[in-house]
């Protein structure tokens, strides 16, 4: 784990690291914000998963989250959204498949299956690496994300009961087996057997009994991808109601899919996670 950048911010440090990933078989980059409280003791960690086309840079630059993390004494762990490099498969003419669009699954189909193991990376390799090399982060975790990353946060929490104290999301892809983004990526990464897709679909997971104590979601009503039918929060809400999984779904009037939306409400999400990890 190599430190490549360190920036003083909000009384703490925003660090960027690279390492050779066993899961993704390439060099991976991630960022960590260590709040000022980390100089005196251990701090819990909020993992943030970003959306299509993003890297770790989008959230750490645009969301304004560090000031709230410093206020509550929470570390932020911000991975990349896919493997990258000259030898990593990509579809340059598409923003919704390949590099920048790992979809937080373990790919089983060629040419993706060698490198695209973002699910294992986020839930196993990265936490182990962080907690080994940064002992002030002891393993108390929550998870959140946006769009494709909101989908990732939901499935990581649902598939790993007890691993995260809380889960939230901004405009998540709630039912990827039934939307164009999910169908395009899942068919490429996982093949044509749709029963395999359901293992990475939050709505499907809840329908078959997966459960977590509570889900907290903010969704903008002017989100262009909501209007296009890519996000389908109503499917998740129906599944949660049927399964009696507590869901707070706030429809925020007039907000779109951008980081302006995230920056508006990220403080409330961090405060909510801080209470869960206290």
Say whether 147 is catalytic: yes
Please report the pLDDT score of residue 186 as a whole number: 98
Q: Is 57 annotated as catalytic? A: no
CATH number of the domain where residue 198 is located = 3.40.50.1820
The one catalytic residue among 31, 50, 147, 168: 147
Active-site residue flag, 113: no
- Would you write out the chain's pLDDT as a tens digit for each of its 278 residues? 999 999 999 999 999 999 999 999 999 999 999 999 999 899 999 999 999 999 999 999 999 999 999 999 999 999 999 999 999 999 999 999 999 999 999 999 999 999 999 999 999 999 999 999 998 888 899 999 999 999 999 999 999 999 999 999 999 999 999 999 999 999 999 999 999 999 999 999 999 999 999 999 999 999 999 999 999 999 999 999 999 999 999 999 999 999 999 999 999 999 999 999 99
- Residue span of the structural domain in which 12 resides: 2-277
Q: Which of 72, 257, 269, 273 is catalytic?
A: 257
Residue tagged 């970003």 (tokens)? 50
Given the residues 223, 235, 269, 273, select the one marked as catalytic: 223
Q: Answer left, alpha or beta for residue 174, where phi above 0 means left and psi between -120 and 50 means alpha.
A: alpha
What is the domain count for the chain? 1
DSSP assignment of 4-42 = EEEEEETTEEEEEEEEEETTTTEEEEEEEEE-GGGGTS-
- Read off the pLDDT of residues 7-54 as tens digits, 9 standing for 90 and up: 999 999 999 999 999 999 999 999 999 999 999 899 999 999 999 999
């Amino acid at each position: 784990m190599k430190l490549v950048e360190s920036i003083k911010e909000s009384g703490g440090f925003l660090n960027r690291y690279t390492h050779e990933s066993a899961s993704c078989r390439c060099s991976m980059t991630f960022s960590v914000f260590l709040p000022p409280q980390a100089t005196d003791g251990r701090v819990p960690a909020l993992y943030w998963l970003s959306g299509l086309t993003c890297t770790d840079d989008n959230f750490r630059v645009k969301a304004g989250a560090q000031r709230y993390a410093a206020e509550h004494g929470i570390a932020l762990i911000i991975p990349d959204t896919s493997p990258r490099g000259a030898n990593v498969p990509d579809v340059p003419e598409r923003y919704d498949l390949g590099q920048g669009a790992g979809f937080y699954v373990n790919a089983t189909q060629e040419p993706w299956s060698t490198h695209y193991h973002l699910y294992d990376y986020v839930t196993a390799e990265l936490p182990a690496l962080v907690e080994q090399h940064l002992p002030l982060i002891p393993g108390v975790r929550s998870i959140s994300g946006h769009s494709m990353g909101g989908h990732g946060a939901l499935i990581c929490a649902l598939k790993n009961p007890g691993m995260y104290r809380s889960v939230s999301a901004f405009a998540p892809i709630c039912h990827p087996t039934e939307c164009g983004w999910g169908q395009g990526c899942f068919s490429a990464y996982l093949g044509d057997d749709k029963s395999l897709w359901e293992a990475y679909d939050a709505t499907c997971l809840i329908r078959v009994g997966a459960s977590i104590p509570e889900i907290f979601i903010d969704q903008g009503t002017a989100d262009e991808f909501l209007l296009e039918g890519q996000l389908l929060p109503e499917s998740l809400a129906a599944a949660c109601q049927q399964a009696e999984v507590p869901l707070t779904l706030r429809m925020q009037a007039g907000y779109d899919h951008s980081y302006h939306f995230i920056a508006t409400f990220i403080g409330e999400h961090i405060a909510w996670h801080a209470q869960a990890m206290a």
